[in-house]
Amino acid sequence: MAEIGGDLFFATIPELNKLLVSRQISAGELARAVIGRLAQLGPRYNALALLLEQQAIRKAEEVDKELKRGRTRGPLQGIPYGVKDLVSFAGQPTTWGAKPYAAQVFDYDAAVVTRLAGAGSVLAAKLSTVELAGGGGYRYARASLQGPGLNPWNRTRWSGGSSSGPAAAVAAGLVPFAIGSETSGSIVTPASYCGVTALRPTYGLVSRYGAMALSWTLDKLGPFARSAEDCGLILQTIAGKDNKDPGTAGKSFYYTPQYARDMKGVRAGYAPVDFAEWADPAARPAFEAAVSVLKESGVQLVEAKLPDFRYGPLISTVIGAEEASVFETLIRGEQVDQLADPEQIAGLKANLDIPAVAYLKAMRVRRLIQDAFQKLFADVDVLVTMGRFGPATPVDQSLDANTRSGPPPLDPGMTALIQAGNLAGLPALVLPCGFAGNLPVALQLVGPPFSENVLLAVGREFQQRTDWHKRHPPGT
């Protein structure tokens, strides 16, 4: 049997699958090693919400029996993983990261948990999240039951929100992959800060049944993993129609790298001002080098601009109105005052006063945004920009602090792509692309609806030419 430790905690899904199928390691051994690592290091990063030791070992032993009989289910069989603690697992607490729900238990599994269980994956832990996935807005990273998400690259820095636990756990080698969620940046931001690959799927491609609702028309579940290939394998398992989630699109996803387009046929739209002026000065060399790698791969980079809309106010109106409806009982009751961040409490209460006319206008403009992006993607296949402007912020810094020196550039470039992409329901892939001050930075690729295979093909090519996704924090 192979020794489970060191670099094996940072192995990709295909690498682990090969060891399991050849029985060089057993699923039980792998699960016990992951459980031990989660217990030891999870609290170090405030990443662990709940350890699922007994359930994980029982599932892993079932997988070993299957493998012994030669029954294989696919690449995720026997692979441990974690879920953000807004995803339900029957009989265990699902706290939504918030004190008012600390004792909340559901009697059913979320759809993603059910699908992964069917593939033979081993759920090892619930992972931390910002309270209510950031509903109402928050100013400080400490707004979580587990405390502020600490970045494995430097624990004085934030791991990002609201999927703080999944990103930190994957970055630190606590789990091979994790499921997080995004409404407006909660996959892109922590993946960028923690230096891991992550995928925000097209709206409706993955069922949200059994996951906390924040904004019904914006919420998406997606994977944090070691590589673009890993993300494709995970998405293939969790995607698909689900009658229990009326927001699902009725589409399946099959990861097909064997049919990937030649990179010379891929046109990528980008805004030079993003990398030259908006990016943190310390991160610019890494971003410039990453763009050069894309060019060397054959991708045609052409200048492009986002459609001209006020994305920030629009998405704030949609999220605010929908979350006020979701959490109305909490907001009107006394338990709302148990939340850690007064800014979040005030934001939730204020959202009750959003006029219906404002919400409906915002929803009508979203249709115009979708039409505008359809026209934009007639000329380009993907959009490329930064995941975030620079590396992770200090964990005790206010999230609305303005740390930029001097006036911002006049050209907004694609700095609103997170808000715009979420409003339009577009998929995004986050690719680690270098470092700034010993902290990771990342690219963000965005495509038209259901273009995940194109994004993953570009990401796979990028990662075959670089090794940023293979780096892991010192001491882990």
Tokens of 419: 């808000």
Compute CA 112 distance to the chain's CA centroid, rounded to the nearest angstrom.
14
Give the catalytic positions in this structure. 84, 162, 186
- C-alpha to C-alpha distance for 162 and 359, rounded to whole angstroms: 24
Tokens of 399: 């999230």
Count the neighbouring beta carbons within 10 Å of the beta carbon of residue 22.
10
Taking the CA of residue 413 as centre, how many other CA atoms within 13 Å lie in the half-sphere pointing to its CB? 20
DSSP 8-state code for residue 190: H
Residue 28: closest CA among 58, 7, 6: 58
Cβ pair 90, 104 in contact under 8 A: no
The rounded radius of gyration (Å) of the Cα atoms in the chain is 21
- C-alpha to C-alpha distance for 286 and 470, rounded to whole angstroms: 16
Residue 163: closest CA among 183, 143, 180: 180
Cβ pair 445, 428 in contact under 8 A: yes
Which amino acid would we find at residue 105?
V
Residue 42: closest CA among 145, 158, 173, 160: 173
- C-alpha to C-alpha distance for 232 and 199, rounded to whole angstroms: 9
Burial class (CB in 10 A: 0-12, 13-18, 19+), 21: middle
- C-alpha to C-alpha distance for 47 and 271, rounded to whole angstroms: 35
Largest interatomic CA distance in the chain = 66
Which amino acid would we find at residue 139?
R
Assign 125 to helix, strand or coil. Answer: strand
List Cα–Cα distances, 276 to 69, 273, 304, in angstroms.
57, 5, 15
